[in-house]
Amino acid sequence: MFGRSRCGFTLIELLVVIAVITILAGILFPVVAQARDAARRTNCLSNLRQIALAHQMYVQDNDDVLPTWYVQAPRGFRIWPDFLSPYYRDPKILDEGAASAGDANAATWMADYALCAWGSGGTGTLSRPYWRWPGAPFVSAGGTRPMLLAEVLRPTETLQFADGLTTHFDTSIQRVHQNGLPNGAFLDGHAHVITLPEWNRLGRDAQGYFYRISAADR
């Protein structure tokens, strides 16, 4: 008589297979996650370029006036994704998939990016450099007026849009990529990853120290 053929795996063999799969998963998952984030960063930069182009067209149509992140309207306020909407083709460029899906304020979400238009701030000292994003209105004794494009001295260095979150009530810059660095679009329309040295780079003039990336009027 023929002996019975052996089938199946022993417990030790199963444990070895599970261990190998676990090791491979530990090696591959971070690589896949990095590749996915790299693809998302590339898509993010493309989105920012399109948003910056829409912003440039809006500014040209409005006498070169730089908008703040919201403008007054007959029925309240219009947030930048709304008043720029006639200038970009696809609203999907506002959704990077970074904050909108899990954000607590999903019902008020408008964009995964921020229009940098706040300030001014800082004192001009080395410990507190001056900053003022483009679009932040000038406030003086004569009243408030918006900033003009021609008043920005360094458009290639001045940040206009960045990774972040915009809702109906607030907007903020946020770091959302695995490399810990924000993507940004500048006032001249180009976009790139912002390194820490670039983010913190200072300039100095007769009025004191200022952040080169955010002092639009210096």
For the stretch 188-197, pLDDT in tens is 999 999 999 9
Closest CA relative to residue 96, chosen from 156, 163, 189, 173: 163
- Please tell me the total count of domains within the chain: 1
Identify whether 132 is part of a domain: yes
The residue that leads in pLDDT, 181 or 72, is 181
Q: Give the pLDDT score at 179.
A: 86
pLDDT category at 1 given cuts 50, 70, 90 is very low
> How large is the average pLDDT for residues 111-138?
95
Q: Which domain holds residue 67?
A: 12-215
Identify whether 148 is part of a domain: yes
Identify whether 7 is part of a domain: no
Closest CA relative to residue 56, chosen from 151, 161, 174, 173: 161
Closest CA relative to residue 182, chosen from 166, 196, 170: 196
pLDDT category at 139 given cuts 50, 70, 90 is confident
Report CA-CA distances (Å) from 134 to 64, 66, 92, 144, 188: 12, 7, 25, 15, 12
pLDDT at 97 over 80: no
